[in-house]
A and B are shown apart, each in its own frame.
Chain A
Amino acid sequence: MTATLETTPVQTPAPAPARRRRFPVGRFLAYVVLVAFAVVYLYPFLIQIVTSFKTNSDATNSPLSLLPDPVTTAAFGRLFDTDFALWGFNSVWVSVLVTLGRVFLCSLAGYALARLRFRGRSALFTAVLAVMAVPSVVLLIPKFLVLNQLGIYDTPVALFLPLVADAAGVFIMKQFFESVPASIEEAARIDGAGTFRIFWSVVLPMARPALITLTILSFQASWNELPHFIVASQDRDLYTLTKGVATLTTGQLGSGNQFPLTLGAALLMTLPVAIVFFVFQRYFVAGANEGAVKG
């Protein structure tokens, strides 16, 4: 959205404002603010890392200290006595399946909505938009009911299949495909390629940035998901990291002040997302803006 300014004839520019020669107070203040916020934002993570190497009593008695006394990995040892490795494994395969499913199916559906003419297309799009508006809280209980009816409650399928449904992803891919020049597809069609071929070999490779964005968003969403895993299963062998670590604080193991244990668990479960984040940073940033401020 561009602002329109009255165009006045360009006058001779005013002399450089005197404040430039003085100490840049504004910029100094800006740095102060930024550094202050950075401390507030980074300190909890620092504390998390440091505390997971403390003993229980040290953590309780000197919470602010950034130096464990003594340094110990006992918390991690206790953590792996639980089913932490199993939870991690479950999280991995669920996230992989959900991400693959979402990326593939959303790009298919997005392409269909953007480029293929078929009856009911716009109605389907309206339905997608409407679904995006439904707050997830409404779905918490009924998803459980549906899983029951389908007979897949408390099975591995229930963990990942409902998460593959993603209206927002369809929307993102559709937006992207619409921005791809149609001439390329037309050229391919003229050369005799079928629809799927055009999609797979011509258009999809061009969609790389959007696909990567969608991959990252899907991975992050499925790795960090909690409410769905609460209602989708109860078998302990099907716990993912989020649900398993949640029991460290809400369930049987959540007694007493075992902060190094809980913080160590939180640390480990954040690592994969953190790695993905740092490696693919610009796509995260792009993803956060998808569909946001388009002119």
Chain B
Amino acid sequence: MRSPIRRSAQAAVAVAALSLAAACGGGFDDTAEQQESGSASLTMLIASSGDAETQAVQAQVDAYEQESGNTVEVQVAADLSQELAQGFAGGNPPDVFYLDASRLADQADAGNLFPYVDQVDDVDDFYPNLVDAFTYQDTQYCLPKDFSTLALEINDAAWSAAGLTEADYPTTWDQLASVAQRLTTGEQTGLVIGDTRDRVGALMVQAGGWFLNGDGTEATVDTPENLEALQYLQTNLAAGSFAYPSAVDAGWGGEAFGTGKAAMTIEGNWLVGAMEADYPDVGYTVVPLPEGPDGPGTLSFTNCLAVAADSDAQDAAVDLATYLTGADAMTALTQDTGVLPSRQSLADAYLEQFPERQAYVDGAEYAQGPVNAPGAEQVLLDFDSQLGGLATGDPEAVLQSTQTNLEPLVGG
């Protein structure tokens, strides 16, 4: 009697062999043959805040198609990073795609990007620290297509109801704390601030600290400056004059602000579009963030148009990217989408049209970009999750653990 183990093994091998035979059709094409430009077919993967933005992008893309003779298929991602990952794994990534500055290091490190900025003539027209946000290990990878910064939004009705005037707009931390306290009533919190480093980080910058040092070679999380920022936040959270959105049953600061649960919030210029769409009746004013112990500080959020290294139409892709970041396209794309143009030359015209966004545009000068180290995402997520419990937690421990986790990823 044959041993059952042998027979199992035989069957397993048979099944595996059959399957492999079926699977052998696939295979991989590692060399990407370039398409001829002038008749190239491109795919572009974007993330959109809604129909308005998608249509704006599509309009510009159509204009590009007319001009260049290439065809472009615009795909809107539900989950940009996941779909990018799947695209790269499949060896079939989109030719052009939105890339958040916080993801630059990861993608560049994995070799997914084709740096094309050296082919661009008017790089100087872009804000320098935005271009820096897309520079990794001295290579400039892509052009920023727009940017956003954080500012302080104040609900006018709540402001006057508390007997405050324009002169009382806070310009220092102390003023912010006292104003928030005055504005905190039973149903309204003075200031709702998001519980992630993308908001709290502004406080850290204002105190003179940040996760990394100037050239990104050292982790500087556990510093007295950052500690001061977290302690300031903690004091006010505990006092009830600051709150996280989830504590007031809101998904983000903008929702808390629009539904009247927050008298003030710290959000970026995307808030403008959201308020218009969802809460058009709320009157508000945008002022620059108050200065911290070390001066003014805010955070910048920017996306670039990246070109995939595996793209089989690189020339056409670069062409598309530079077209969409050209002055004309950028003007059109920053019209209705609430983002700020990343070209300095467009700032004046933009502010003429949208004077209320002055605070956001001004922030570009002292804005800090995201942490640029490969694999930092997980560390920062961990930081965020610890922020959630800051009201009763230990800021020192938060900073120390983040420092420990970040150090191995930085340097060299």
Q: Say if the two chains contact directly (CB < 8 Å).
A: yes
Chain A to chain B contacts (Cβ below 8 Å), 9 pairs: A120-B7, A122-B7, A123-B4, A123-B9, A123-B11, A124-B11, A148-B26, A148-B91, A150-B26
Q: How far does the alpha carbon of A235 sit from the alpha carbon of B76 in the complex, in Å? A: 9
Interface string of A136-154 (1 = CB under 8 A from B): 0000000011101111011
Flag if A144 contacts B10 (CB, 8 Å): no
Chain A neighbourhood of B7, CB < 8 A? 120, 122-123
Flag if A120 contacts B14 (CB, 8 Å): yes
Chain B neighbourhood of A256, CB < 8 A? 251, 255, 278
Cβ of B166 within 8 Å of any chain A Cβ, yes or no, is no
Sort chain B's interface into a size bin: 35 or more
Q: How far does the alpha carbon of A146 sit from the alpha carbon of B25 in the complex, in Å? A: 12
Flag if A126 contacts B48 (CB, 8 Å): no
Selected contact of A126 from candidates B11, B27, B79, B274, CB within 8 Å: B11
User: A104 CB to closest chain B CB, in angstroms?
Assistant: 18
User: B94 CB to closest chain A CB, in angstroms?
Assistant: 10
Interface string of A85-114 (1 = CB under 8 A from B): 000000000000000000000000000000
Interface residues of chain B, those whose CB is within 8 Å of chain A, are: 4, 7-12, 14-15, 23, 25-28, 47-50, 75-79, 82-83, 86-87, 89-91, 251-252, 255, 274, 278
User: B262 CB to closest chain A CB, in angstroms?
Assistant: 15
Flag if B78 contacts A251 (CB, 8 Å): yes
Flag if A123 contacts B10 (CB, 8 Å): yes
Q: How far does the alpha carbon of A148 sit from the alpha carbon of B85 in the complex, in Å? A: 12
Report if A127-B12 is in contact (Cβ < 8 Å); known contacts: A150-B23, A256-B278.
yes
User: A59 CB to closest chain B CB, in angstroms?
Assistant: 13
Report if A236-B26 is in contact (Cβ < 8 Å); known contacts: A123-B7, A144-B86.
no
In chain A between 196 and 228, which residues have their CB closer than 8 angstroms to a CB of chain B?
A: none
Selected contact of B78 from candidates A120, A153, A154, A236, CB within 8 Å: A236
Cβ of A7 within 8 Å of any chain B Cβ, yes or no, is no
Q: How far does the alpha carbon of A231 sit from the alpha carbon of B83 in the complex, in Å? A: 9
Residue of A nearest to B14 (CB): A120
Top 7 A-B pairs ranked by shortest CB distance? A123-B11, A123-B7, A251-B78, A149-B26, A234-B83, A151-B26, A150-B26
User: A126 CB to closest chain B CB, in angstroms?
Assistant: 5
Cβ of A255 within 8 Å of any chain B Cβ, yes or no, is yes
Flag if A236 contacts B75 (CB, 8 Å): yes
User: A27 CB to closest chain B CB, in angstroms?
Assistant: 44
Residue of B nearest to A231 (CB): B86
Flag if B50 contacts A252 (CB, 8 Å): yes
Chain B neighbourhood of A236, CB < 8 A? 75-76, 78
Cβ of A72 within 8 Å of any chain B Cβ, yes or no, is no
Chain A neighbourhood of B274, CB < 8 A? 255
Residue of A nearest to B11 (CB): A123
Interface residues of chain A, those whose CB is within 8 Å of chain B, are: 120, 122-124, 126-127, 144-146, 148-151, 153-154, 231, 234-236, 247, 250-252, 255-257
Flag if A153 contacts B90 (CB, 8 Å): yes
Chain B neighbourhood of A148, CB < 8 A? 26, 89-91
Q: How far does the alpha carbon of A145 sit from the alpha carbon of B85 in the complex, in Å? A: 12
Flag if B78 contacts A247 (CB, 8 Å): yes
Residue of A nearest to B76 (CB): A236
Flag if A234 contacts B89 (CB, 8 Å): no
Q: How far does the alpha carbon of A69 sit from the alpha carbon of B278 in the complex, in Å? A: 21
Report if A120-B75 is in contact (Cβ < 8 Å); known contacts: A148-B89, A150-B26.
no
Flag if B89 contacts A144 (CB, 8 Å): yes
Flag if A127 contacts B25 (CB, 8 Å): no
Selected contact of B15 from candidates A124, A146, A150, A255, CB within 8 Å: A124
Report if A234-B86 is in contact (Cβ < 8 Å); known contacts: A151-B26, A251-B79, A255-B251.
yes
Q: How far does the alpha carbon of A91 sit from the alpha carbon of B236 in the complex, in Å? A: 50
Chain A neighbourhood of B50, CB < 8 A? 252
Q: How far does the alpha carbon of A151 sit from the alpha carbon of B27 in the complex, in Å? A: 8
User: B295 CB to closest chain A CB, in angstroms?
Assistant: 34
Residue of B nearest to A57 (CB): B259
Chain A neighbourhood of B91, CB < 8 A? 148
Chain B neighbourhood of A251, CB < 8 A? 78-79
Selected contact of A154 from candidates B8, B10, B90, CB within 8 Å: B90
Chain B neighbourhood of A126, CB < 8 A? 4, 8, 11
